[in-house]
């Protein structure tokens, strides 16, 4: 059984599976073995590097989506928030999307219809984070035929990338959204821990 957690953000309820603690948090907080394994597996997921824990992250997402009510009835699409470049996007999501296609043949995978128009600076490395839109470097090559979309991200921090994706897909005709992330970032904990140090 998958342990699903949820958190309310301005974009809506985000379901996630693991807690993510940044390197800065580790100065103040000792990670459990599960937290450390997830952190390492997440970076393998982002880089597309094969390892058993990365495979398990993909399995967890596949199991979760496969069990969503009505997911395979033809009225749902899946959209993975794009990485900063086409090459990184392919490494990050190819395994996940191929496994999802095998168990959800009636789902439209919007990433198959994404064309990259450039690259995007990553929010966590950008000097001016609020001005980076998670979907500014892509376009969809076809309209959205189903009104329901599951938006997937690797890590949710404040939900800004999910909000960008929701606005992007709403403009293309999507109306109902579910939000899923592998993990939730504890950026607020980092700030609190600094104050206590």
How would residue 170 be classed by pLDDT, with cut points 50, 70 and 90?
A: very high
Instruction: Please write the tens of the pLDDT for every residue from 107-134.
Output: 999 999 999 999 987 655 544 555 789 9
Residue 107 DSSP SS3: coil
The secondary element (H helix, E strand) that includes residue 109 is strand 108-109
36: enclosing H helix or E strand: helix 33-47
What pTM was estimated for this model as a whole? Answer: 0.91
Average per-residue pLDDT in the chain? 90
The whole-angstrom distance between residue 90's C-alpha and the CA centroid of its chain comes to 14
pLDDT digits (tens, 9 = 90+) for 47-80: 999 999 999 999 999 999 999 999 999 999 999 9
Q: How far is CA 128 from CA 56, 78, 153, in A?
A: 34, 29, 21
**3-state SS, residue 39:** helix
């Amino acid at each position: 059984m998958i342990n699903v957690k949820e958190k309310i953000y301005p974009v809506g309820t985000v379901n996630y599976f693991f807690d993510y603690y940044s390197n800065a948090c580790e100065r103040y907080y000792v990670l459990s073995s599960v937290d450390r394994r997830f952190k390492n597996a997440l970076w393998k997921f982002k880089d597309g590097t094969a390892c058993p824990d990365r495979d398990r992250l993909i399995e967890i997402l596949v199991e979760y989506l496969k069990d969503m009510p009505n997911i395979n009835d033809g009225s749902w699409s899946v959209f993975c928030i794009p990485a900063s470049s086409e090459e990184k996007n392919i490494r990050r999501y190819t395994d996940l999307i191929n496994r999802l296609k095998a168990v959800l043949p009636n789902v439209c995978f919007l990433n198959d219809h994404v064309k990259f128009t450039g690259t995007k600076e990553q929010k966590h490395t950008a000097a001016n984070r609020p001005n980076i839109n998670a979907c500014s470097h892509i376009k969809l090559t076809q309209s959205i035929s189903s009104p329901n979309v599951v938006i997937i991200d690797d890590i949710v921090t404040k939900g800004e990338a999910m909000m960008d994706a929701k606005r992007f897909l709403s403009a293309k005709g999507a109306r109902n959204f579910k939000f899923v992330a592998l993990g939730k970032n504890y950026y607020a904990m980092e700030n609190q821990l600094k104050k206590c140090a």
